[in-house]
Amino acid sequence: MNRMKDKVVIITGAAQGIGATYARAMAAEGACVVVADVLDGATLLEELKGMGSHAIALKTDVSDETSAATMAAVTMEHFGRIDVLVNNAAIYASLKMRPFEEIDLGEWDRVMAVNVRGPFVCTRAVAPYMKAQGSGRIINISSGTPFKGTPGLLHYVTSKGAVLALTRALARELGDHGIAVNTLAPGLVLSEGVVANAEMRERLTAPVIASRAIKRDQVPDDLVGPLLFLASDDSAFMTGETVVVDGGSVMH
């Protein structure tokens, strides 16, 4: 407990789903949490405040440079520093699985805008503040799918592969400033969105579980320990790495 005491943590896409689980975990460890989402974070905000967190919620479009800059600036106004950025916002569970020839170009562009441009834009927004304080942690959320080449979701898989490369290059550029950049790569998680997507559940659940060394469904809480490890001083000398958490489906 209190590994994150008084640390200021921005989590994008935190209003619901796995992002909300990350926010609760950070609050439980004593962090000041910024819920950054295009969705309304008011309900979660009240929950976090009830846990004793000095939390705020900001309407944020991660793909928009001005919105991301405002997110960082308002966080600084409230707390005076930014210790951790979790680039969690992504388009996934709402996608329909289909052959790559049938993916609409507009949908491709939307996935890339949120899943790749988003982490780039948000990292660029917080980097000056982290550089000024000489420390910081950036955690990009990827996926196990780039390691497998999962079919039916080419735009999503491609975007999450890009996140791996983004992490490695950023780690090289930011290391001299005391900023660590790492990736957390979950497997198929029973998030709210995945549970609601019957087709995705039907097509992916059985083969994914069969591929795991630990043969069970993955739940959001399975990601809490690894996330806190990457966000805290426990991983102080670690950067540019990808931690896959999927029950042993991918081993790399």
Per-residue pLDDT tens listing for the chain (252 residues): 789 999 999 999 999 999 999 999 999 999 999 999 999 999 999 999 999 999 999 999 999 999 999 999 999 999 999 999 999 999 999 999 999 999 999 999 999 999 999 999 999 999 999 999 999 999 999 999 999 999 999 999 999 999 999 999 999 999 999 999 999 999 999 887 777 777 777 788 899 999 999 999 999 999 999 999 999 999 999 999 999 999 999 998
CA distance 8 to 48: 14
Q: Counting Cβ atoms within 10 Å, is residue 153 exposed (0-12), middle (13-18) or buried (19+)? A: buried
**Which of 242, 239, 231 has its CA nearest to residue 83?**
231
Half-sphere exposure of 45 (CA within 13 A, CB side): 14
Question: What does the chain come to in residues?
Answer: 252
In the prediction, which pLDDT does 194 show?
A: 77
pTM of this structure: 0.96
Q: Where are the domains of the chain?
A: 8-243
* Catalytic residue, candidates 22, 92, 129, 156: 156
**Residue pLDDT, tens place only, 215-229:** 999 999 999 999 999
Please, what sign has the CA dihedral across residues 221, 227, 228, 234?
A: positive
In the prediction, which pLDDT does 81 show?
A: 98
37 Cβ contact partners less than 8 Å away, ≥ 6 residues apart:
12, 13, 14, 15, 16, 19, 57, 58, 59, 60, 89
CATH architecture observed for domain 8-243: 3-Layer(aba) Sandwich (3.40)
**Residue pLDDT, tens place only, 165-183:** 999 999 999 999 999 999 9
Q: Chain centroid to CA 170: how far?
A: 16
CA distance 143 to 227: 14
Is residue 129 annotated as a catalytic residue, yes or no? Answer: no
CA distance 173 to 145: 26
